Structure 1
Amino acid sequence: MSAGQVRQIVLKGRLVDYTLHRRARRTLGMTIDDRGITVSIPTRASIAETERFLLERSNWVVEKLAEWAARPKPASFEVADGTRFPMLGQTCTLHLSHGAPHVEWVQGVGKREVHLRVRPKEAPRRALLRAVQNYALGYFGGRIEEYGWMLQRYSPGLELPALHLTNARTRWGSCSRISGIRLNWRLIHLPNAQVDYVVAHELAHLIEMNHSRRFWEVVELLYPDHPQAQAALRNAHKIIPAW
């Protein structure tokens, strides 16, 4: 994927950078996260169209940039023996050693541990990240099976699409009958209830590919406590560590 072109524009009297990507798409789109503004445009769209798109949304853009600037930075952590980090809302302790690669997750009453063995020259952070993402893939798959079973009772014959992990910065998940269900791997750091809500939300899109009243009725059917989980997700940045 291209790194994009960095450009500048004046919005509300402020010079701001934005990263421009040309994509095989029909409309202009924009995301704002900790990296700044990213604009995706159709391959034949002009810079004038792009700047008009940004200017028309200048109030919202400047407001969102200010929100991200004021947001506390995620806590970074050093990957070493004894490091602690959140997994499914609980504190997980890393036990790091050297040797033939091996990962073992241990969960007991009031504790969660990961025993990670890496080759002497391998970067522990990379090995731990791989272990966490693999754990997330398996855990999310189990939750999709459970909620998918509930959904299939509502809609017999419904086929569940494949699951993939995503590294998105601003979306927890997406769903398509063609490309499958994509869940942000960072969800694995959050409590079970928030993971389950996102799973139920994306599965509900197999019935309604929008956010209509019927869609929320399906979400309600799958996960009645969705308002509380949805509200809790707003504070996810306080939990998820900086990788």
Structure 2
Amino acid sequence: MFDQSPYRCRVEWGKRGAREAAERGDILIIVDVLSFSSTVITALNYGAIIYPYPPYLDGKNYAKKVGAEYILGRREATEMGKPTLSPVSFQKEHAKKKYVLSSLNGAFCTWIASEVPALLIGSLLNAASVASTANQISCITKANITVVPCGEQWSDGRENEDSLRPAMEDYLGAGAILSNLEGSKSPEAEVCMAAFQNSEGKLEDWIWDCGSGRELREKGFEADVRHCCRLNVYQTVPILQKDHFVAAEGNV
């Protein structure tokens, strides 16, 4: 059986990894660099309130129930001048406003793994801060920590194929966070951390030109890619509180 149990810090991919980590009672750090995690971090940095919601349920109806605005697709929202899954669409004017944010990867993983000691959102933008918060919570709860790079979904998956598309940017984001976590690390976590450490100084170039980066750029969202590949520019750490994210306090 696949198992990283002897180690305090682990890394698991996607929805399956999030579910299994939640069943173990681990602290989870969800990493979806392009762009769910980066969007949530940026939105909370500006004071917005984000409700994660899976894409297969009726997000618009849910938004009405919680008194929030349902975030539209990137293209539609951009044309209407509204915030979207694009992190750079959030600004100071969105402070204290509620938004329901769905995504195939980050929001879905969050939904699956919501019943845990703590669920945090991490990316390159807040790698050091989210690791510090996880370290504090782990010290209090004695729970292990699993970092979950979400990956992407193949758009043309065929019958009996795994739909998960591992994403380089999520792996590097996970490695940046693991580099700041305290305690023993599984071999899987060590390799992930080493990948990040080998990429320092190359992050912007590599993410700009990786498959996910090119995919976004070709759709006209170059600013998102530039924004999301920056390292440790925010101290904001989103933590799930029942059904929405709040910014973790400095002392957990």
Which band: TM-score by shorter chain? Answer: under 0.3
- The answer to which structure has the higher strand fraction is 1
TM-score (norm 1): 0.27
Taking structure 2 as the reference length, what is the TM-score of the superposition? 0.26
More helix by share: 2
Between the two structures, name the one with larger relative contact order (CA 8 Å, sep ≥ 6): 2
Greater Rg over alpha carbons, structure = 1
